[in-house]
Amino acid sequence: MEQIKLDACPECDLLLRQILPESGEKAVCPRCGYLLYRPRKQSIERTFALSIAGLIVIFPATLLPLIGIKLLGNSHDGTLWSGVIGLFAEGMWAVAALVFMSSILFPLINIILSLLISAHLHFNKPNRHLGRWMRWLQHLDEWAMLEVYTLGIIVACVKLASTADLKLGLGLYAFVVLLVITAMLASSLDTYLFWQRIARLRRDEA
Ligand SMILES: [Zn+2]
């Protein structure tokens, strides 16, 4: 017997047969009008391009000065990385770990996973790890709240710059670009399409 795949409408629980709309179309619930699925345009290509851009910009964001401080004629540059090391040296290892994870580690993992998955799908290369990578990428979303916290760092830097003798550094601009790229990555990722393509690659390989 052929298996019929059914989805329940999240809004009104009507059981619906699974369909896959083309790009530009959308699937809506016939009973309540809930938007079930709208394919995102060129999701794989956009994710691929954005993750390459993210991989480039994450280096200046981490290693170039976020702010420069002028004190008694001496100028000190604070990078994200030196900030983490400084917090750690001061014994504030929990804060150091939080800053490191939210502003360096998670964006990096997010970008690398997006790049790996979209590159394999774009070039139709099967890989037995694709499903695992995709699950990890989706679990990273649970940490997305931390972006709010990194925004807090930026606001603090900008406020400090207006009161103290501080200068905004190139690293801060790179960091803002990185945040924008991360947000665009999240909005371009069509998980429904990605899972379908992963399943198709697995079938083709078998
Ligand atoms: Zn419905």
pLDDT averaged over 10-residue windows placed end to end, the chain, 206 residues:
71 85 82 86 92 94 80 70 86 86 87 95 92 92 65 72 73 88 88 89 82
CA torsion sign for 113, 116, 120, 121 is positive
Q: Is 206 helix (H, G, I), strand (E, B) or coil?
A: coil
Give the Å distance between the CA of 87 and the centre of ligand 1. 51
Q: pTM of the entire structure?
A: 0.79
Give the Å distance between the CA of 186 and the centre of ligand 1. 26
